[in-house]
Structure 1
Amino acid sequence: MHPMLNIAVRAARKAGNLIAKNYETPDAVEVNQKGSNDFMTNVDRDVERLIIEVIRKSYPHHSIVTEESGELAGEDQDIQWVIDPLDGTTNFIKRLPHFSVSIAVRIKGRTEVAVVYDPMRNELFTAVRGQGAQLNGYRLRGNIARDLDGTILATGFPFKTKQHAPAFINVVAKLFTQCADFRRTGCAALDLAYVAAGRVDGYFEIGLKPWDFAAGELLVREAGGLVTDFTGGHGYMHSGNLVAGNPRVVKSLLFSMRDELSEALKR
């Protein structure tokens, strides 16, 4: 096993145990509002602290980027751990058991290691660049759908950027006439992991942050899929506008979405 994957798995499992423990004691969960429709809990903070502790023990000089603490610069700027301690916080708060820990390692700007862990189902999705993606040790291959006919698509509403609502609703309306159905689960990391596992055929979302998709992106790629921005390029690292699926599904998604996008979403 890749040594950094080993540490990422250890951190994710410890974090998942802490999340599951807190899930059983909802009265001890403190909720704060960070921004419009954006929440965090004491569990997010505690889990983040635990993950950082595990990483620092083995790699004290690496840099770390987390959802709650921002960038923690280390002596080694070339290696960066990108962490979402609890992706799906709203689900956790509402006691809807669908959330995950997401950990990615980027070396010189390329994601090399990815872990997405669902503690409620004990499902561990892992990937190392060039070595494929796995779920609990079994190799993943994405879906082989040839176009949108019969596909299940996953997405997330742009609840933090509601100025994009009209374009988003137009895109959904158009795609709904071509696919079989939609899923909207409230956890981007698991959406991408499910694309890698073939549980959903394609995925798109507006305005994600790097910690939402850094690990999931590598899972999709290593399962034979494609990840692009809304124009088929690689600008999603900055825009957070993401399309994922097998190459044919992505091509069909981009073609169908093209005429419904606002100018802001084409950048």
Structure 2
Amino acid sequence: MFEEYLDFAVGMAREAGRIQLSYFRGDDLAMKTKSNVSDVVTRADRESEELIVRSILERYPTHAILGEEGGARGDAASEWRWVVDPLDGTTNYSQGLPVFCVSIALQYRGETVVGVVYAPYLRELFTAVRGGGAWCRRGDGEPVRLHVSTKQRLDCSVVATGFPYDKSENPDNNSDNVARILPHVRDVRRMGAAAYDLSCVAAAMLDSFWELNLHEWDVCAASLLVIEAGGVVESLRADRGVSPVAGSAALVEQMKRYVR
């Protein structure tokens, strides 16, 4: 039922990826700050979102859209809503680091039914349809079905996290969680793009992930990937935006002893 939407989302993600690669490691990023000096946006963010929004409204004019840069658009009363992060990992992107991605999700009556995360420099395309599993195509290869890590012990696990943009103003900035969990894991990674982190959890490249004060567009598509790959995505708390913990059910339960 949702394959048409998946194909459409993949096409938009690839087009946005081409925009991003055209500016990547160049001197024409037109970078600006948003909420504070840590929260940056580039012309690639803006142009990618405009491409995606324009494409959606041309093909599905009655759908709603939530985008990181443009906020809510389209028909707010629609049963269909697209949730878009046009360039997740903007700080990486602006520094010339290759871990960044496009994240596009589609919700129907409040449930995420399609998720696409595309890392254009890495040539990794992650996709999921509700009930159809999670998949990854690397380069020109065939899609491979994903499954979250089968590890049962946290001390053998490599976990990932990130830090909120208000880390300099708010002491509730995740540093205490890192200090608590660090002695109990194999290692911690800070990749700099939550959608890619969650995609790596779905692909068992990372064993688990948590973060505080994200937004719906950061996690919507990739959370479906984790769930369709046999994992769970839970909310750590309700007072710091979207604050997920994700991985296998066994590892998430162990993670919650240390992160909150």
Smaller-chain TM-score bracket: over 0.9
> 1:164: Cα distance to partner?
5.0
- Residue 170 of structure 1 deviates from its aligned partner by 2.3
- Determine if the alignment matches structure 1 residue 208 to structure 2 residue 193: no
- Given that 1:161 and 1:207 are in contact with CA atoms closer than 8 Å, whether structure 2 keeps it comes out as no
**Residues 164, 203 of structure 1: CA spacing in aligned structure 2 closer, same or farther, 3 A cutoff?**
farther
- C-alpha RMSD of matched pairs (Å): 1.7
Change (3 A) 1:2 1:252: same
Tell me how many residue pairs correspond in the alignment. Answer: 253
Alignment correspondent of 1:182: 188
Superposition TM-score, scaled by structure 2 size: 0.92
1:241 aligns with 2:243: yes
Residues 127 and 134, structure 2, Cα contact 8 Å, conserved in 1: yes
Q: Indicate the structure with greater helix content.
A: 1
Structure 1, unpaired ranges of 5+: 262-267
Deviations 1:137-156 (A, max 9, x none): 21001101112021000000
Matched, 1:217 2:223: yes
Q: Name the residue aligned to 1:251.
A: 253
Check whether the contact 2:114–2:130 (CA below 8 A) recurs between aligned residues: yes
Q: How does 1:99-248 map to 2 (within 5 A)?
A: 99-136=100-137, 137-162=143-168, 165=171, 168-230=174-236, 239-248=241-250
Identity of aligned residues (%): 39
Give the whole-Å Cα distance in 1 for the aligned partners of 2:64 and 2:172.
38
1:174 counterpart letter in structure 2? R
Distance 1:167 1:116 in 2: 26
* Residue aligned with 1:77, SS: coil
Distance 2:58 2:172 in 1: 47
Q: Name the CA shift for 1:94/1:167 in 2 (closer, same or farther; >3 Å).
A: closer
| SS at structure 1 position matched to 2:257 | helix
Q: Deviations over 1:40-71 (max 9, x none)?
A: 11111111111112222321211111000000
Moved segments of 4+, more than 6 Å: none
Work out the CA distance in 2 between the residues paired with 1:164 and 1:216. Answer: 27
| Matching residue of 1:30 | 30
Does structure 1 conserve the Cα–Cα contact (< 8 Å) formed by 2:226 and 2:232? yes
Structure 1 counterpart SS, 2:127: strand
Normalised by the length of structure 1, the TM-score is 0.90
Which stretch of structure 1 is more off in the superposition, 68-77 or 155-164? 155-164
Whole-Å separation in 1 of the counterparts to 2:88 and 2:60: 24
1:70 and 2:71 are equivalent in the alignment: yes
Q: Which amino acid aligns with 1:39?
A: V
Per the alignment, in what secondary structure is the counterpart of residue 15 of structure 1? Answer: helix
- Where do 1:49-60 residues align within 5 Å? 49-60=50-61
